[in-house]
Homo-oligomer: A and B are copies of this chain.
Amino acid sequence: MATEIPDIVIGRLPLYLRALTHLAEKGQTTTSSHELGQRLGISSAQIRKDLSHFGEFGKQGTGYHINFLIDQLRHILHLNLVWSIAIVGAGYLGHALAHYQGFEQRGFRVAWVFDNDPQRVGETVNGVEVRHINDMIACLREEHVQMALLAVPTEAAQETADMLIEAGITAILSYAPINLKVPVGVQVQYSDPVVQMQRMTYYLNATAQYPET
């Protein structure tokens, strides 16, 4: 317990939380590391060891009380409050994100949407008014927003990230297919569908595919 907890462990906690919430919604009240592992495709020992970094949450013979464990994980991940987030870029992707129904239940609230297209500014997306990107720094600074979803065209991604950092943002989920340069202390997560798809084609049988090029 304590010292430095590996990032790879932190990365699995949201998956545990998601699976536990799913079980809770089905009305189940307790579970075991074995059951959880089965659902997630992870060994039961790994789940037990991961959790043991933070305390002793289970009971021998019984397993884990689901609601209790959910509560603990929420605290560990700082999800016992609602995080306001900004969506930057109100194109197709920005709209999809703004309409995503999974944020509220899981600790986030879309507080701001920004775009640089005057046509879009003033429009309302899922109840949130689109603001011009020129107002972004002032808005986010004032409200101490810490997290942003970056959904702008690739060419604009780095400069927009720079603005976000100037605005005090310290966590960015970027959908642009480039590596952002950010100062230490700023976290970045990436989501690039093509990278995930290309990882799979390695294992696919190319001869079964209709050729081209």
Contact = CB atoms under 8 A, between A and B. Distances in A.
B195 A14 contact: yes
B171 A14 contact: no
Chain A interface category by residue count: 35 or more
* Residue among A76, A82, A203 having the largest count of chain B Cβ atoms under 10 Å: A203
Interface stretch (A27-35, A91-99, A129-137): A91-99
A54 B108 CA distance: 43
A81 B173 contact: no
Interface in A98-112: 99-100, 102-103, 106-108
A198 to B, nearest CB: 4
How many copies of this chain does the complex contain?
2
A210 B96 contact: no
A41 B208 CA distance: 36
Interface in A35-94: 39-41, 76-85, 91-93
Contacts of A128: none
Given A77-B202, A147-B200, A201-B83, A193 B191 contact: yes
Interface string A116-152: 0000000000000000000000000001101101000
Contact of A213 (B80, B97, B179, B203): B80
A165 B80 CA distance: 39
A1 interface: no
A156 interface: no
Contact of A200 (B15, B171, B193, B195): B171
Q: Which 3 A-B pairs have the closest CB atoms?
A: A14-B198, A92-B96, A171-B200
Interface of A: 10-11, 13-15, 17-19, 22, 39-41, 76-85, 91-93, 95-97, 99-100, 102-103, 106-108, 143-144, 146-147, 149, 154, 170-171, 173, 177-179, 187, 189, 191-206, 208-213
